[in-house]
Structure 1
Amino acid sequence: MTTLVVTGAGGRMGREVLSVAADRGLAVAGAVNRSAVDDPVAGVAVSEPETLPELLADVDGRPVVVDFTAPAATTTYAETAADHDAAFLTGTTGLSETDRETLTRAGDRVPVLWASNFSRGVAALRRAVAAAVRAVPGYDVEVTETHHNGKRDAPSGTAETLVSEVEAARPGLEERTHGREGVAPRSPTEVGVHARRAGDVSGEHEVLLAGDDNVLELTHRAGSRRVFAAGAVDAAVWLADRDPGVYAFDDVLDDRTESAEATTSDPVSDTQ
């Protein structure tokens, strides 16, 4: 059975991950948080970050650290995980190039998976956006995201990923315009990027493609953070037995799709 250790356990996502793990009966060896959390979260006591090495050392087999924190904490946790042969999964966004290099170095020793979003719906949106942009050359593209008023980075990591998909699908789009003010006519080489922060919105992303007399909107709305936590737990279970390396959420989804297709096409399975 996969054993999890959760960082940022006092935060929104950390709590959701622990809740999903409890509902699925997964083993959780412990949880840490930078600020004190007096009560257990989903039945798991939360301790200080300094206890992470001890928590990892006490696990038989390879544990998986599930991390939704902030860049400085994420890189520290990644190094600690690698030092203790623990797989490391993170959904922290706002990582710098240096931060990503730290994850890559950890991936030389243990399996590491980073994703800006663990929703299967968002994964489908990314692929649909790339196909749509290629299908309508010349259309203007705008990406808008909305999140709760406590989110730190803007635009969101998912929005950044969507813009990267757009740019890869149409190389001529090489300028990102973050909002507009005053006299600001659109350039044919730009992608508009807009971030909104309000209330307790779990996450909304919209990609608008507009041409002459044609408008196409591709949208994903998350009803709660639990959808992201569920995807992260699925990915953590998948990651536990992988070889060292840096993986993406698409690797998890593609592997499961191939497995499902192989099972469906197995003539023995069809007769049982």
Structure 2
Amino acid sequence: MTTTIGVTGAAGRMGEAVIETAADREDVAVLFGVDATETDAVGGVPVHDAAEFEALLSEHGPDAVVDFTVPEAAVEFAAACADRGVPLVTGTTGHDDLQFEALAAASERTPVLKATNFARGIQALLRTVEEAVGALPGYDIEVTETHHNQKRDAPSGTANTILETIKDADEDRADAPEEYGREGIQPREDGEIGVHVRRAGDIRGEHEILLAGNDEVVKLSHRAEDRAVFAAGAVDAAVWLAEREAGWYDFADVIDG
């Protein structure tokens, strides 16, 4: 059976990657794309003005929508999908509290899967981080992430997910302070988690977690070599979500089957 999808942010880096990835699959078909930038087509898929999104949902009735845009746009797309019962997969990051609540509200009427990273390797990394933090209580922890020079939010959504995983894995770190970079005379506080952000070139995404203590150092890391990694995960998520009932989902749900 073929899963039909619409793609928002179709002219962006991730939108293009999603369309290209779907084109290589026999079980997925992209019906349309929308973008805030005027674009005729991407990979043979017609791209319309984002203002036409609601009309396109009604006309084509896709099985799911894949969204990689900006927070304010993602919220509007989610509301439109909820009005028509269309599942939404979103990899957009950087939402504030109100925007996040709006996405959650949409999930009460349609399936919404929000993930900060669609790489299967990141899911493996998060599970490893959870185990390592639990096994190494009291060790100093530093998180470093690197992305391309056009990324808007900092730290990355994935880095924030890593921080949440660390705090959930060790109750003593539940309220641990986060120190974003260091400058001047700034000795490390007990229990703090260092967070470091780098932006350069066209780097797809690198994340490293360093744990140090007891005269030993443990480094856990993940590097994406191509955006196709994220696109493949997002398409997998769309196929999976199309069969689900209204609710809030994460990419880990897809991995777990």
TM-score relative to the length of structure 2: 0.96
In 2, Cα distance between the equivalents of 1:91 and 1:17? Answer: 11
Alignment partner, residue 24 of structure 1? 25
Letter in 2 for 1:47: H
Counterpart CA distance in 2 for 1:172 and 1:178 is: 20
Bigger Rg, which one: 1
The one-character-per-residue Cα deviations of 1:116-142 (angstroms, maximum 9, x if unpaired) are 000000000001001001111110000
Give the partner amino acid of 1:196: R
Aligned to 1:265: none
The aligned length equals 253
| In structure 2, C-alpha distance between the alignment counterparts of 1:109 and 1:136, rounded to whole Å | 42
Counterpart in the other structure of 1:102: 102
Letter matched to residue 252 of structure 2:
D
* Counterparts of 2:63 and 2:254, CA distance in 1: 18
1:22 offset after TM fit, Å? 0.8
How far residue 56 of structure 1 moved from its aligned partner, in angstroms, is: 1.1
C-alpha separation between the residues in 2 aligned to 1:163 and 1:55?
38
Question: Deviations 1:36-56 (Å, cap 9, x if unpaired)?
Answer: 114x21110111012111221
> Counterpart of 2:237 in structure 1: which amino acid?
A
Distance across 2 between alignment mates of 1:137 and 1:85: 45
1:237 alignment partner, SS class: helix
User: Which structure 1 residue ranges, 4+ long, deviate > 3 Å from structure 2?
Assistant: none
Q: Matched residues in 2 for 1:12 and 1:171: separation? A: 38
After superposition, what is the alpha-carbon deviation per residue over 1:154-188, rounded to whole angstroms, capped at 9, x for unaligned?
00000000011111112222100000000111111
CA contact (8 A) 2:138 2:191 kept: no
User: How many angstroms does 1:111 deviate by?
Assistant: 0.5
Structure 2 match to 1:143? 143
Asked if 1 retains the 8 angstrom alpha-carbon contact of 2:147 and 2:202, the reply is yes
Residue aligning to 2:16: 15
1:29/1:55 contact within 8 Å kept: no
Which of 240, 243, 257 matches 1:241? 243
* Preserved CA contact (<8 Å) 1:56 1:63: no
How far apart are 1:96 and its partner, in Å? 1.3
1:1-272 aligned at under 5 Å gives the runs: 1-25=2-26, 26-38=28-40, 40-60=41-61, 63-173=63-173, 174-255=176-257
Partner amino acid for 1:107?
A: S
Rounded Cα–Cα distance in structure 1 between residues aligned with 2:239 and 2:43: 19
Aligned partner letter, 1:27: A
> 3-state SS of the aligned residue for 1:6?
strand
RMSD across aligned C-alpha pairs, in angstroms? 1.0
State the alpha-carbon separation in 1 of the partners of residues 56 and 29 from structure 2: 13
SS at match of 1:58: helix
Aligned equivalents of 1:115, 1:160: Cα separation in 2: 11
CA deviations over 1:52-94 (Å, ceiling 9, x no partner): 112211235x521100000000000000111122111100011
Cα distance between partner residues in 2 of 1:180 and 1:89: 36
Query: Which runs of no fewer than 5 residues in structure 2 stay unpaired?
Result: none
SS in 1 for 2:24: helix
3-state SS, counterpart of residue 42 of structure 2: coil
Runs of 5+ in structure 1 lacking a partner?
A: 256-272
